[in-house]
């Protein structure tokens, strides 16, 4: 339990909270007397766990590290319990711990069910749209505390409430043990998704406290965040918890099948020389994380162990977007977007990938396109479509079309067949004078643009007038979508819903424009092979 830093501050915050509740204000006469006139009063929120002290940044009230569930360590691989209530006023000034993971945010903590809220006002009776962001990092890593996800600029620009969230990841959130352990672990393959559902319930319950509308929640997310959203759209327990969906470079057409997911779980048991899956429940967190680096049994790609949502006939009864888009979400407006040069983010940091020869291209393409088409056939078609392309340009374009863009096309076409309201975009713009110019419109570039966070660490957009223009265009489209269920606004050309006869796509650039079926030749080339999402088998 986090307590205020000193008794005097605790007394002040308690008095401020008591005086503000009836009037619905964050300021009181006592506060103005107790603090210098230039100091913003401490905003106090009342949530189901107790009172929270946030901070005011400019005109926005910010609450970080709010618990929406209890420590998951005692219930590893199980659905989480609600957070424990606290006494007094709990500081909500710092981000909570990330989920257990490897990488830059390692090792994390199993007490990770935290969310962060940016709001223009508390308890003022307004019904602002709520934007609920789900972070990327596949299903393996990341958190809601990345500087690029700071919600302050969106709040100020659109008078909305922004929420970011942490939830269980990798083995802790998606290791499927239902067929290898006791019935208590029946949910284990999808508890990371159940965490998100629990967070959405929390947000709906407290919408009015933070000046938002419980009946107007937009979920948006990039990469793994978009895939998690696609999965939520097919989970019965998520129905009605959100009302619009905006995904960026993240799709989930098919999920892991139960046999494949059990095979991976068995590989974890074999690694630790265990015969009883229940033994994993008490294994030290850092030791269990070792298994995240095991080689995946699939031959589709040379990668670490895949864990993600599982078609478990319980929480996820069907594949999210196969053979059709989920019926339960047919009335939810959806935007599905990608960047023009996705795989330059993964493959473009190797200098050799920008300079290799035509002789080297077939082997490199076969290893990285993730689709079983003859590289010679793919190369011949790209040379016909784009005769000026170099070998490396074909490599980046083909890997993007074969392994990153393909899922977006599948979801768009499934929604179009369903007649569901759906808009497609492609980000073409990139900073041609910056240090990332060779990466062009790479995977993740749309995050700082949508959040209008060009000057945050890691944006790689620059802050030129062109970057500001594209950011305004994209963030205003998200804000319009959150208000109206339609991304069109005065700063855009007409953006029509996606339909199979035209495949309308908005291409974001310094001069954004709508195009019918962009990259149609690439789309048709890769549709010669069936699409199977990573981890399905």
- Could you identify the residue written with the tokens 């196969």? 322
Q: Find the catalytic residue in 342, 381, 410, 413.
A: 342
* Contact present, 376 and 534 (Cβ < 8 Å): no
Q: Is 443 designated active site?
A: yes
Q: Find the catalytic residue in 20, 143, 145, 223.
A: 223
Around Cβ 491, how many Cβ atoms within 10 Å?
Answer: 13
Q: CA torsion, points 472, 474, 475, 481, in degrees to nearest 10? A: 130
Q: Find the catalytic residue in 443, 459, 475, 482.
A: 443
**Residue 17 contacts by C-beta under 8 Å, 6 or more apart in sequence?**
44, 46, 51, 89
End-to-end CA distance of the chain: 43
Length of the chain as a residue count: 537
How does strand 422-427 pair with strand 504-508? parallel
Please give the angle made by the CA atoms of 421, 405 and 448, to the nearest 5 degrees.
Answer: 80
Kindly state the DSSP code that residue 256 receives in the 8-state scheme.
B
Beta strands in 32-94 (DSSP E): 44-47, 50-53, 55-57, 60-67, 89-91
Q: CA torsion, points 454, 485, 249, 323, in degrees to nearest 10? A: 180
- Could you identify the residue written with the tokens 């990469």? 223
Question: Any bridge partners for residue 54, and if so which?
Answer: none
Q: CA torsion, points 208, 212, 217, 221, in degrees to nearest 10? A: -120
Query: Would you name the residues annotated as active-site residues?
Result: 223, 342, 443
């Amino acid at each position: 339990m986090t307590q205020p830093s000193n008794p005097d501050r605790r007394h002040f915050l308690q008095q401020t909270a008591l005086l503000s509740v009836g009037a619905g204000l964050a300021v009181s006469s006592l506060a103005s007397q107790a603090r210098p006139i230039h100091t913003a009063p401490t905003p106090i929120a009342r949530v189901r766990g107790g009172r929270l002290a946030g901070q005011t940044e400019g005109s926005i009230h910010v609450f970080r590290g709010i618990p929406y569930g209890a420590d998951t360590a005692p219930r590893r691989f199980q659905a989480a319990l609600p957070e424990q209530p606290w006494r007094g006023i709990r500081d909500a000034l710092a981000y909570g711990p990330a989920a257990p993971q490897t990488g830059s945010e390692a090792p994390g903590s199993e007490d990770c069910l935290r969310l962060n809220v940016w709001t223009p006002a508390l308890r003022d009776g307004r019904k602002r749209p709520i934007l609920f962001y789900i972070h990327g990092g596949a299903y393996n890593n990341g958190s809601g505390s990345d500087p690029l996800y700071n919600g302050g600029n969106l709040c100020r620009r659109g008078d909305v409430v922004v929420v970011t969230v942490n939830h269980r990841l990798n083995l802790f959130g998606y290791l499927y043990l239902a067929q290898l352990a006791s019935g208590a672990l029946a949910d284990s393959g999808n508890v990371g998704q159940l965490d998100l559902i629990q967070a959405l319930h929390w947000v709906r319950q407290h919408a009015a406290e933070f000046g938002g509308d419980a009946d107007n929640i937009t979920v948006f997310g990039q990469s793994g965040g978009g895939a998690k959203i696609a999965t939520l759209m097919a989970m019965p327990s998520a129905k009605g918890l959100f009302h619009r969906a905006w995904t960026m470079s993240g799709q989930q057409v098919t999920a892991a099948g139960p046999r494949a997911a059990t095979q991976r779980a068995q590989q974890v048991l074999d690694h630790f020389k265990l015969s009883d899956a229940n033994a994993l429940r008490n294994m030290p967190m850092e030791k269990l994380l070792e298994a995240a680096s095991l080689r995946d049994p699939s031959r589709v790609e040379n990668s670490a162990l895949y864990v993600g949502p599982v078609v478990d006939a319980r929480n996820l009864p069907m594949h999210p977007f196969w053979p059709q888009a989920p019926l339960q979400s047919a009335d939810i407006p959806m935007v599905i977007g990608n960047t023009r040069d996705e795989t330059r983010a993964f493959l473009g940091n190797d200098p050799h990938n920008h300079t290799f020869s035509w002789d080297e291209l077939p082997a490199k393409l076969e290893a990285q396109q993730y689709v079983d088409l003859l590289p010679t056939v793919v190369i011949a078609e790209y040379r016909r479509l784009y005769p000026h392309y170099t070998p490396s340009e074909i490599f980046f374009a083909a890997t993007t079309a074969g392994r990153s863009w393909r899922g977006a096309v599948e979801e768009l076409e499934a929604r179009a067949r369903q007649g569901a309201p759906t808009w497609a975009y492609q980000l073409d713009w990139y900073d041609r004078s910056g240090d990332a110019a060779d990466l062009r419109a790479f995977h993740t570039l749309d995050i700082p643009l949508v959040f209008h966070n060009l000057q945050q660490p890691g944006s790689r957009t620059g802050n030129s007038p062109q970057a500001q223009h594209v950011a305004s265009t994209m963030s205003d489209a998200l804000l319009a979508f959150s208000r109206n269920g339609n991304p069109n606004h005065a700063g855009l050309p007409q953006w029509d819903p996606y339909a199979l006869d035209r495949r309308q796509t908005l291409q974001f650039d310094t001069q954004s424009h709508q195009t019918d079926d962009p990259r149609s030749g690439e789309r048709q080339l890769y549709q010669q092979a069936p699409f199977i999402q990573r981890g399905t088998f």
